[in-house]
A = this chain, B = another copy of it.
């Protein structure tokens, strides 16, 4: 671990984060293939080509490693959407911008790896509710909170008509996502046609604006 050579010190951090990335990549593969209960730290270590000790140095236990996998996967899907939501506040063309947002949001949420992780978390939620909480809080809850903030501001500008920004945000979110997401969850479909997703997104925005837009 410690070294007299400055060169080794220089590369220590990148090597650590490279190993961490390798472990998370292996964890994703093994968890999504074998489920939570069917996954062992041994198998993850083998696939990541590191020692089991190294896995435990980075992640205290299986639960912590899984939680970190959820954080990484959900953040990668929701961070760009979150930023785009906040940009809406000063939009001069709300309908077009909501449509762009809805299409992008749906494409992110419907990525195969995100769908598979969502199924896994749901399948284990009765026995391990803490596994799903991170997914819920970093995914839908965070996006809906950002949408609520922006919708409140758009209502103040007179662009939307609403009493309850959080409720309007829930309705926007699910008008766009519920149909394809529910299909994918139950039918195990990981790659719905992109054209279908665009159609669902646009139809969701249309219904949302019919309900909450300026007359």
Contact = CB atoms under 8 A, between A and B. Distances in A.
A182 to B, nearest CB: 6
Contacts of A211: 207-208, 210-211
Interface string A129-145: 10011011001100000
A187 interface: yes
Secondary structure at the A interface, as helix, strand, loop or mixed, is: helix
Interface stretch (A6-14, A61-69, A171-179): A171-179
7 closest A-B pairs (Cβ-Cβ)?
A123-B123, A174-B178, A125-B188, A129-B188, A210-B211, A211-B211, A132-B186
Interface of A: 32, 35, 116, 118-129, 132-133, 135-136, 139-140, 164, 167, 170-171, 173-175, 177-179, 182-183, 185-190, 203-204, 207-208, 210-212
